[in-house]
Every structure is written in structure tokens, then in C-alpha cells.
């Protein structure tokens, strides 16, 4: 409470109570008012967590104990490095593979009545392991396999297109618009035989680099 130079209260207790009650009556129901003070000195305390070495070490010990008791690695779902994050995502995907296999089995059971006649078409459902994290890598891998005669549809399916839209687009562009005759790519190492690739290997994606490589690149920039 405020005091004068002699150390005496400026207001007596009854006056202080009346002033405070009046302020509460006027502003107690005001929108956005959570804390109401009147004439008392107010000090806003810093509620942020000032982490010290000791407290940080104790917190890490508790976290390690939780994961150790569960029998799993601490880096599985709570990573702290670049490569560890990639492995954590792979672990998340792997944990759902069993569920995906069950859905695939269920779909094939629904299609089984349509496969009774061997002379007719055989139907089979297959769920590709495509996620928001790996679809680029899968599309690139399917494209490389296409060069040796593998499926031409899988790269587009990995990019999110349906099988019907892939076939319809290819037929429309090649047979109707004749784009394969109109758009001819310029000669390059990819379109000519015996071409030489450019110097050096292509740069790795950020999630493929090690923590040491990232640190070296940051120190050079």
C-alpha cells in the first residue's frame, strides 16, 4: 500500500476498502479485464521459464526415464536432430503399415466375388505406401524404374493422380492434341544417347544432409 515520507499509510483501511469496492463495481464485469488493482503498487512478475543447466538436466532425466520405462527410444517421437527427425517420420509410417495391410486385405475380400470366373478380368486392390513426406521420393524412384521398362503410371499415381485421369490425360494429349509431335524437347544429356552429364553431383535435399554438413554450410555462409 502507498505510504508517505513518514511511513504512514496515505489512506486508512476503511478508505482503501471503499475505493477498491467502488472500482470493482465499475470495472469488475468489463470485457478484457482479468486483474483489477487500484492504488496499490503493482509489479508484474516474469512467468517465463528461466532454464538453468541444473533444471534442464533434471528435466532431461525425467524425459529419459519415461521413454526408458516404455522400452522405446527417446528419439522415436521426440527428435532433436536433422537425421533423427527423418527416422522418426519413418517410424511413424512403419507403425501404420499393419493397419494399411488390413485395409488392403479388406478391399480384396470385397472384390473376391468378382473374381470367380477365371476367364474374366481379375480385380485386385493395392495401397501404395505414399505419404505427404515420401511422395516426391517415390515418384522419383518410379520414374527411374520407368526408364528400364517398368510402369509408366506409378509416377503419376505417387503424385496424387488417379489411374483413370492418367490414362485419359495421356490419350487426350497424344491422340487428340498430338502434343508429342508439337512439343519436342531440345537435345540434352537426357534425350540423346551417349550424352555426358554436367559436372558434380546434384545437391542433396536438406532432410538428407547430416547435422555436421548443415553446420559447415552455415559457417561458410
- Residue 218 belongs to a domain: no
CA–CA dist 96, 187 (Å, integer): 45
- Residue 196 belongs to a domain: no
Q: Same structural domain for residues 141 and 179?
A: yes
Q: Same structural domain for residues 145 and 182?
A: yes
- Residue 146 belongs to a domain: yes
Q: Same structural domain for residues 133 and 120?
A: no
At 54 the pLDDT is 52
- Residue 210 belongs to a domain: no
Provide the residue range defining the domain that includes 157: 129-189
Q: Same structural domain for residues 79 and 101?
A: no
User: pLDDT of 129-159, one tens digit each?
Assistant: 888 888 888 888 888 888 888 888 888 888 8
Q: Same structural domain for residues 106 and 78?
A: no
At 189 the pLDDT is 58
Q: DSSP secondary-structure letter at 206?
A: G
At 197 the pLDDT is 45
- Residue 49 belongs to a domain: no
At 195 the pLDDT is 44
CA–CA dist 143, 91 (Å, integer): 25
Q: Same structural domain for residues 108 and 137?
A: no
Q: Is the separation of the CB atoms in 128 and 153 below 8 Å?
A: no
Number of domains the chain contains: 4
User: pLDDT of 104-122, one tens digit each?
Assistant: 999 999 998 888 876 778 8
| Average pLDDT rounded to a whole number, residues 179-205 | 63
Tell which wins on pLDDT, 12 or 39: 12
- Residue 203 belongs to a domain: no
Q: Same structural domain for residues 103 and 134?
A: no
CA–CA dist 83, 206 (Å, integer): 10
- Residue 76 belongs to a domain: yes
Q: Same structural domain for residues 152 and 178?
A: yes
Amino acid at each position: 500500500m502507498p505510504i508517505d515520507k513518514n511511513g504512514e499509510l496515505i489512506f486508512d483501511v476503511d478508505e482503501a476498502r471503499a475505493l477498491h469496492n467502488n472500482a470493482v463495481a465499475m470495472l469488475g464485469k468489463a470485457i478484457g479485464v482479468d486483474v483489477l488493482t487500484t492504488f496499490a503498487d503493482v509489479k508484474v512478475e516474469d512467468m517465463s521459464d528461466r532454464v538453468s543447466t541444473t533444471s534442464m538436466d533434471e528435466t532431461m532425466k525425467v524425459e529419459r526415464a519415461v521413454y526408458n520405462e516404455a522400452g522405446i527410444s527417446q528419439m522415436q517421437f521426440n527428435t532433436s536432430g536433422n537425421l533423427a527427425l527423418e527416422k522418426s517420420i519413418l517410424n511413424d509410417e512403419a507403425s501404420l503399415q499393419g493397419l494399411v495391410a488390413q485395409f488392403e486385405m479388406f478391399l480384396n475380400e470385397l472384390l473376391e466375388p468378382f473374381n470367380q470366373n477365371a476367364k474374366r478380368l481379375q480385380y485386385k486392390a493395392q495401397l501404395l505406401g505414399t505419404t505427404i513426406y515420401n511422395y516426391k521420393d517415390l515418384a522419383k524412384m518410379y520414374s527411374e524404374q520407368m526408364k528400364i521398362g517398368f510402369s509408366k503410371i506409378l509416377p503419376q499415381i505417387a503424385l496424387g493422380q488417379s489411374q483413370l485421369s492418367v490414362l485419359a490425360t495421356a490419350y487426350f494429349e497424344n491422340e487428340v492434341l498430338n502434343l508429342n509431335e508439337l512439343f519436342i524437347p531440345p537435345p540434352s544429356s537426357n534425350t540423346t544417347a551417349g550424352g555426358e552429364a554436367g559436372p558434380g553431383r546434384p545437391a542433396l535435399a536438406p532432410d538428407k544432409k547430416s547435422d555436421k554438413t548443415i553446420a559447415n554450410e552455415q559457417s561458410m555462409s
